[in-house]
Amino acid sequence: MKLKFKISQTTNLAPEIIIDRIKGELDQKKYRVLTMTNSSVKFDESPWKLMWNFQAVRRLDGGEFEVSLQDNLTSVTFSYYLSLIAPIIILIAISIGLIKDGEYYAPLFFLLFYVVAVTFQVITLKDVANEMLSEIIK
């Protein structure tokens, strides 16, 4: 299960320069490039990468840059996503454990906690994606 988002900006830079900058930005931030063509770059985050908790909140799970030339302007569309599999598995495991012990209100608290945490992460990732796209087209 993934939440998908899309942002787009235009620039006067040539598509080749944009693709090079995308590759450089992804290498600098240590993302894994899956496919790279003249008009798109697809990447993801290694699921086995160890990092601090505060770093994980500011990491995209993956995405794709699409570059197209329209009316002498280069359009860059950045589609990225947030995977909800880990939070859902954790929530289900905690809920099963608590309901099994006779606690019925605690899973509601944890559900509320995860909704707030996922909302915070979505807002943070939108900022991260906008920063990444701004760095590429500046």
CA 87 to chain CA mean position, Å: 15
Tell me how long the chain is. 138
Predicted pLDDT at 39: 93
Sign of CA dihedral 9, 32, 131, 23: negative
Domain boundaries, the chain: 2-137
Distance, in Å, from the CA atom of 22 to the CA atom of 91, rounded to the nearest integer, reads 35
What is the pTM assigned to this prediction? 0.78
pLDDT 10s per residue in the chain (138 long)? Answer: 778 899 999 999 999 999 999 999 999 988 999 999 999 999 998 766 665 656 666 788 889 999 998 888 999 999 998 877 777 787 788 777 777 767 677 777 777 887 888 888 889 889 999 999 999 988
Cα angle for residues 122, 125, 127 (degrees, 5° grid): 115
Fold type of domain 2-137: TATA-Binding Protein (3.30.310)
